[in-house]
Copies of this chain bind each other. A is one copy, B any other.
Amino acid sequence: MSALNDLINLNLADTTDKIIAEYIWVGGSGIDLRSKARTLTGPVTDPAKLPKWNYDGSSTDQAPGHDSEVILYPQAVYKDPFRRGNNILVMCDAYTPAGEPIPTNKRFDAAKVFSHPDVVAEEPWYGIEQEYTLLQKDVHWPIGWPVGGFPGPQGPYYCGVGADKAFCRDIVDSHYKACLYAGINISGINGEVMPGQWEFQVGPSVGISAGDQIWVARYILERITEIAGVVLTFDPKPIKGDWNGAGAHTNYSTKSMRADGGFDVIKKAIEKLGLRHKQHISAYGEGNERRLTGRHETADINTFSWGVANRGASVRVGRDTEKEGKGYFEDRRPASNMDPYVVTSMIAETTILWKP
């Protein structure tokens, strides 16, 4: 295989100024990632300088066959950890030829919320804890689990070490470095409570970039699991029974919350979230009712609750924030398959713009 690797790892900068740009977009299901690559004549770091492109929307359930062109607008550029050199990954969103965002384009409305002057003034920061499960290819059973059976019960796996406790760490660790290389603000990783489940965190990111970074981090993760021959799932409750689900806890703060007296601003914001619990829940990911049961470190889907250091609540405030009287809070409701554009903008909208 090493002749193939030699070619994959060719450093083109020696022979040409051309670069390769991988354009990434979200497909018709709202959780399937798609990408294709094109050659550009020289290095580019500013998305505004990248050409718009298009793809066959009839093949991703995003356009009818007789009018299939969907236009991609580049929105964010990252270094490509797979091709390296001056090659790039480009996060895009999708529009009709007439310039209207297509229905699955959730970034467009999020960007509108984030460009509202009141939201801009509050500089909303997000730290998203993305959980995910790795499955053995073909059988779609979690990695490390005996096929046809179950591993020992949860307990030893959270942050665990050892061949019988941590499975596929190479995927997690290569993802960590690849994201740092790409310029994604990945802040950490840990093994999760269910064996075969892991988490990475992205943030703090401001406004719309939280969504861009999570989507590209998910893309990089799926490219890595592809290399490893393992299947990635963002299903919020991959295995029924006494096994934790997978979430995307969203940590949030505004300028006012980070300043002195912020704890009161936080409490008011949490109150507003409580008044719109049903609306948020319906936008926080498909299948979340299988996960938010009130057990396994979740709050029941029909209940809104909050508490300091309480992992069984909908919203958790850290002890540090309580002690210092300012800081941030954690919305534990979003599922692992949530759309970060939707969740981040909705939290900003409810807490900053909405008047009850």
Contact = CB atoms under 8 A, between A and B. Distances in A.
Interface string A167-207: 00111011111101100011111110100000000000000
A169 B166 CA distance: 22
Q: Which of A37, A60, A231 has the most CB of B within 10 A?
A: A37
Interface string A287-315: 00000000001000000000101111000
B38 A158 contact: no
Contacts of A146: 138
B162 A231 contact: yes
Interface in A144-175: 146, 154-156, 158-166, 169-171, 173-175
A122 interface: no
A161 B68 contact: no
Contact of A158 (B60, B79, B193): B60
Interface string A47-80: 0000000111011110001111100000000010
B309 A60 contact: no
26 contacts: A1-B228, A2-B2, A3-B5, A3-B8, A4-B171, A4-B228, A6-B9, A8-B170, A8-B173, A8-B174, A12-B177, A12-B180, A15-B79, A20-B180, A35-B159, A36-B188, A37-B190, A39-B180, A54-B318, A65-B297, A66-B311, A69-B309, A83-B173, A161-B219, A161-B223, A162-B225
A34 interface: yes
A232 interface: yes
Contacts of A180: 12, 15-16, 18, 20, 39
Interface in A106-126: none
Contact of A34 (B60, B160, B164, B309): B160
Interface of A: 1-10, 12, 15-16, 18, 20, 27, 32-39, 54-56, 58-61, 65-69, 79, 81-83, 97, 137-138, 146, 154-156, 158-166, 169-171, 173-178, 180-181, 185-191, 193, 219, 222-232, 297, 307, 309-312, 318-319, 323
